[in-house]
Amino acid sequence: MTQMPPPPPALAVGVFPRRTWWGRNWVWMLIVGCVLTAVLFVAAICGMVALGLSMMKQSDAYQLAIQEVRTDPTIVEMLGEPIEEGWYAMGEINISGSGGGAWLEFPVSGPKGTAWVCVEADRSGGQWFVTGLSVQIDQTGEELFLVDSSELRSPSRRSMATCPP
């Protein structure tokens, strides 16, 4: 009778073939890939929001409104100088050719207090004009109308009365 040769070492009981790096670490790579994808997605959303906010603050309508607020003697007296802009602005700006309109809300602050500014502006012939501007002083709750546009406001536009308290 012939004797059977012993099994190869790789097939011996309790001995397994060595796995590749990918075979040992695929779970960690999956987790890192998912986390990296989520982080990149959040970063992209934050970047789009920051771009939108910066574009809003760079608009001519916003610059005109902040100039009106900074040069009004009543506002300067109530907030003090210098009047600083908040880091964000909300609203909408529509430009169509040389015309358009804007509705903006943004916070401002000075050494004596803070306020919320609501502005409506129209664009005609490529030039912006403030048609409504109100400033609500946070400390007193007083609302000042620097430019009252109640007769100019179109029904499709939001009312300046929606400025937050």
- When pLDDT is cut at 50, 70 and 90, the band that residue 116 belongs to is very high
pLDDT of residue 52 exceeding 70: yes
**What whole-number distance in Å separates Cα of residue 103 and Cα of residue 132?**
9
Distance (Å, whole) CA 160 – CA 120: 8
Phi, psi of 77 (to 5 degrees): -65, -40
Q: What is the pLDDT of residues 73-105, one digit of tens each?
A: 988 998 888 999 888 888 888 888 888 898 999
Look up residue 6 and give its amino acid: P
Regarding pTM above 0.85, the answer is no
Q: Per residue in 6-22, is it b (16+ CB within 10 Å) or e — as a string? A: eeeeeeeeeeeeeeeee
Domain 59-160 matching CATH 1.10.1200.10: the answer reads no
Q: What is the pLDDT of residue 106?
A: 92
